Amino acid sequence: MSLLPHHPRPIPTLLRAFTDLDNYLTTSPAEHVFSHSPRFDVRETKDAYILDGDLPGVKKEDVTIEFSDPSTMNVKGRTVRSASGEEGSWWFSERAMGEFRRSFSFPARVDREHVEAKMADGVLSIQVPKVAAEPEEERRTIEIK
């Protein structure tokens, strides 16, 4: 029995911290003020890659999904927060706003023509089908003349 509390998710939290640090170090100071990086869960099934991203308050019209090359998908958009009708002075603001962009590189070929995406309850779900594996060609030996 341990006297220290057990934290069931230290690795994902640590990975998120490294991702946030990398995003901070690789963007310009102006981008920090007006950009953020939404969190995504990515899993792989036999036939597809499934991505679920938290985009609370974002309309589907404000999100673009595109492939920059055959194996890299970019999700980008804008989070807008309106201050109209709000009274009082701010103590602090923690909700992200502004431009966002996430890139995902897949290790295997994907079927870009049959990607499906839907937005429900602030979660963007994207299903990226894999391309069926092509049979490997038989081994061939070249004769040297």
pLDDT band at 5 (very low <50, low <70, confident <90, very high): low
64 found inside a domain: yes
Question: Does the residue 121 lie in any domain?
Answer: yes
Amino acid at 102: R
Angle at 35 between CA 34 and CA 38, to 5 degrees: 145
Handedness of CA 137, 138, 143, 144 (dihedral sign): positive
CATH number of residue 117's parent domain: 2.60.40.790
Q: How many domains does the chain have?
A: 1
pLDDT score recorded for residue 7? 53
State residue 89's pLDDT score.
Answer: 79
- In this model, does residue 135 exceed pLDDT 80? no
Higher-confidence position of 38 and 13? 38
Tokens of 31: 């981008």
Average pLDDT rounded to a whole number, residues 120-145: 80
Query: Average per-residue pLDDT in the chain?
Result: 79
Asked whether residue 137 is domain-assigned, the answer is no
Is residue 123 predicted with pLDDT exceeding 50? yes
Q: Which one is predicted more confidently, 89 or 115?
A: 115
3 lies in some domain: no
Does some domain include residue 136? no
- Could you read off the pLDDT of 35-74 as tens digits, one per residue? 678 899 999 999 999 999 999 989 999 999 999 999 999 9
Residue span of the structural domain in which 115 resides: 10-81+98-129
- Asked if residue 139 is part of any domain, the answer here is no
Categorize the per-residue pLDDT at 130 as very low, low, confident or very high, splitting at 50, 70 and 90.
Answer: very high
Flag whether 67 is in a domain: yes
How many other C-beta atoms are found inside a 10 Å radius of the C-beta of residue 122?
11
